């Protein structure tokens, strides 16, 4: 089979590409640096020639609702149109657990992406993952200075490496129980329920950062649901990783 990974140079994408290549799957990485632009559609038709499955882990760096929705709907529209022309048999999209429960800018963009893909006619499987272990450190790095304001958020923090493994599993059906039904939503979470503020403090201590971490309840309709667990899996059928935050933070421990 031939698999295309959209966003193949990002945190998740490069891990998916590497795993597929190691397992002998023919894989092509798609990114702007590799001549493919999701927003304009440039390079998509050529890149998808002979592709059976597309894994979309593309991303946009914004918290703006309007910008996130515009990017994801435009990008997904271009991607699914090209996928249909190429005869792609399956599209797999990486999204976020709870994206349909919290009215927050970036999440609304992700939800628009899901809806656009499922309405396109291209068979779509959505993997909703919880926040990556890297998320706490990313929040610490958003604003420089001695004080770090970290959102109050209950999370089932998950290793990005295990999310990559799950995407490969869905794309290649590597084990007898691996195939999810097409047009389904699969949830994947880490093994523990944690507070993002606590994780940020642990990262700051481990990295020897001189940062005072202060919890912040986000304003508006998103803040309380985030703090109370709306980003956690709600059902019993969620798949679960095994790498804890401690394992990730201290891999040689």
- Alpha carbon separation from 144 to 113, 179, 244 (Å, rounded): 31, 44, 27
> Taking the domains of the chain in order of start, what are their residue ranges?
2-249
Residue that is written with structure tokens 């899901």 in the block: 114
Instruction: Give the pLDDT confidence of 175-197 residue by residue, as tens digits.
Output: 434 445 567 999 999 999 999 99
Instruction: Give the pLDDT confidence of 57-112 residue by residue, as tens digits.
Output: 999 999 899 999 999 999 999 999 999 999 999 999 999 999 999 999 999 999 99
In contact, 200 and 157? CB cutoff 8 Å: no
- Tokens (6 digits) for 19: 């795993």
- Report d(CA 177, CA 162) in Å as an integer: 17
Residue 77 has phi, psi (to 5 degrees) of -60, -45
Cβ-in-10-Å burial (0-12, 13-18, 19+) of 64 comes to: middle
Q: Does domain 2-249 have CATH number 3.40.1280.10?
A: no
- Report d(CA 237, CA 122) in Å as an integer: 25
Instruction: Give the pLDDT confidence of 23-37 residue by residue, as tens digits.
Output: 999 999 999 999 999
- Report d(CA 48, CA 27) in Å as an integer: 11
């Amino acid at each position: 089979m031939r698999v295309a990974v959209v966003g193949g140079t990002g945190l998740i994408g490069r891990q998916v590409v590497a795993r597929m290549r190691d397992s002998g799957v023919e894989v092509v990485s798609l990114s702007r640096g590799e001549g493919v632009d999701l927003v304009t559609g440039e390079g998509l038709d050529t890149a998808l020639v002979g592709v059976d499955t597309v894994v979309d882990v593309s991303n946009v760096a914004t918290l703006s609702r309007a910008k996130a929705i515009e990017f994801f709907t435009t990008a997904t529209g271009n991607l699914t149109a090209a996928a249909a022309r190429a005869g792609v048999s399956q599209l797999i999209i990486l999204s976020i657990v709870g994206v349909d429960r919290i009215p927050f800018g970036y999440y609304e963009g992700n939800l628009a992406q899901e809806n656009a893909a499922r309405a396109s006619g291209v068979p779509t499987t959505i993997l909703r993952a919880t926040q990556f272990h890297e998320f706490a450190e990313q929040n610490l790095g958003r604003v420089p200075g001695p004080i770090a304001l970290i959102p109050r958020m209950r999370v089932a923090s998950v290793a990005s490496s295990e999310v990559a493994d799950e995407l490969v599993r869905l794309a290649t059906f590597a084990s007898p129980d691996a195939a999810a039904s097409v047009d389904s939503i699969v949830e994947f979470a880490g093994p523990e329920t944690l507070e993002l503020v606590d994780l940020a403090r642990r990262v700051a201590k481990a990295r020897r950062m001189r940062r005072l971490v202060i919890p912040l309840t986000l304003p508006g309709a998103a803040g309380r649901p985030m703090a109370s667990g709306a980003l956690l899996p709600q059902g019993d059928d969620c798949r679960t990783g095994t790498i804890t935050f401690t394992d990730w933070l201290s891999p040689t421990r």
